[in-house]
């Protein structure tokens, strides 16, 4: 005969704090992931109250909160993310013995429109790689060659350290989402840009810094380049070279994947290069390719034209 689960009374505020600590210290989630969970769960706590017991929250309260969020004009993707955060929180609360069941389980997230990733045509990426008179031109060219040539996330490229680069083997060691490491090949063209940048990078570095601590891409103060700086550099470079000003680091990553797919590279190989945990995430690029083919067909095929 099964005994009834013992539930220890804990306020919502303390339970959320405990969950976020575990997410960061035990599950080793990224800073961005923890921050996203914190924002969503604090919104939920504002709706329910900080001092209410976790075990007293009902399914109806969660549904009412989502309805209120929807009424405020939030997108379906935001509602789905908030529901996911609350559901993960209650999963942890059940495991920790703070409530008997996950009251968010089974609540359906609003249907989201399927959005295809935006890409840049090859001539636009070539325009970005034109030389400029910027003082940081060698660094910027090397960064672009690595980010686009390896399909890296912007957080991955600014997180590169000197010991992650192996120019003898033309490889990079990349720390991706969930702190998972992967090895990606560095294209020959990118190697030349990286070598040109590294030849002038050393000036100004303090001797006490060890190779383990040194970021590859530095700002003018010899500190690690920030994500915001890379985003700003791309926009400024696009204006200066005549490239598409809507360019972004993630759009370059999408372009890398789409161009590989168009070149006949296997989807599994693209998944490994991008560091996707699920093949389903990578499969978005097949839909993008089909959408592009359909667009070309509609514009050019005589049978597609209406009389």
| CA R_g for the chain | 24
Over residues 113-149, the pLDDT tens digits come to: 666 557 777 788 888 889 988 889 999 999 999 988 8
- From the CB of residue 107, how many other CB atoms can be counted at a distance below 10 Å? 14
Claim: this prediction has a pTM higher than 0.85: no
Active site residues: 153, 177, 250, 253, 276, 285
Q: How long, in residues, is the chain?
A: 307
Evaluated on CA atoms 130, 131, 133, 137, the torsion sign reads positive
Over residues 233-283, the pLDDT tens digits come to: 999 998 888 888 888 888 888 887 777 776 676 667 777 777 666 655 555
Taking 60 as the threshold, does the pLDDT of residue 179 lie above it?
yes
pLDDT confidence of residue 1? 38
Q: Which domains does the chain have, with CATH numbers?
A: 12-95 (1.10.150), 122-299 (1.10.443.10)
pLDDT confidence of residue 207? 47
Mean of per-residue pLDDT scores for the chain: 80
Mean pLDDT, to the nearest integer, of 11-18?
92
Closest CA relative to residue 155, chosen from 220, 77, 217, 247: 217
Over residues 108-117, the pLDDT tens digits come to: 877 766 665 5
- Both tokens of residue 52? 């209410």
pLDDT confidence of residue 285? 57
Taking 60 as the threshold, does the pLDDT of residue 289 lie above it?
no
pLDDT confidence of residue 284? 61
The half-sphere exposure of 76 on its side-chain side, counting CA atoms within 13 A, is 8
């Amino acid at each position: 005969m099964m005994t009834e689960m013992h539930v220890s009374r804990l306020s919502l505020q303390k339970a959320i704090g405990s969950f976020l600590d575990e997410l960061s210290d035990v599950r080793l989630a990224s800073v961005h992931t923890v921050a996203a969970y914190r924002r969503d769960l604090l919104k939920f706590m504002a709706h329910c109250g900080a001092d209410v017991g976790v075990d007293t929250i009902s399914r109806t309260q969660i549904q009412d909160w989502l309805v209120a969020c929807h009424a405020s004009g939030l997108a379906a993707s935001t509602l789905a993310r908030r529901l996911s955060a609350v559901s993960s929180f209650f999963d942890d609360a059940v495991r920790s013995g703070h409530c008997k069941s996950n009251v968010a389980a089974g609540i359906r997230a609003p249907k989201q429109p399927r959005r295809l990733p935006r890409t840049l045509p090859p001539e636009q990426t070539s325009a970005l790689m034109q030389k400029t008179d910027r003082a940081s031109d060698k660094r910027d060219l090397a960064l672009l060659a690595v980010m686009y040539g390896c399909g890296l996330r912007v957080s991955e490229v600014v997180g590169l350290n000197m010991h992650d680069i192996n120019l003898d083997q033309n490889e990079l060691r990349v720390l991706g989402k969930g702190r998972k490491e992967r090895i990606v090949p560095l294209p020959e063209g990118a190697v030349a840009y990286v070598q040109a940048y590294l030849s002038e990078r050393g000036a100004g570095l303090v001797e006490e810094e060890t190779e383990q601590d040194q970021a590859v891409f530095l700002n003018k103060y010899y500190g690690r380049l920030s994500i915001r700086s890379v985003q700003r550099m791309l926009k400024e470079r696009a204006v200066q070279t005549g490239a598409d000003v809507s360019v972004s680091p993630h759009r370059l990553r999408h372009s890398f994947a789409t161009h590989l797919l168009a070149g006949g590279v296997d989807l599994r190989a693209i998944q490994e290069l991008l560091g996707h945990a699920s093949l389903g995430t990578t499969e978005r690029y097949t839909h993008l390719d089909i959408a592009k083919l359909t667009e070309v067909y509609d514009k050019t095929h005589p049978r597609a034209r209406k009389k």
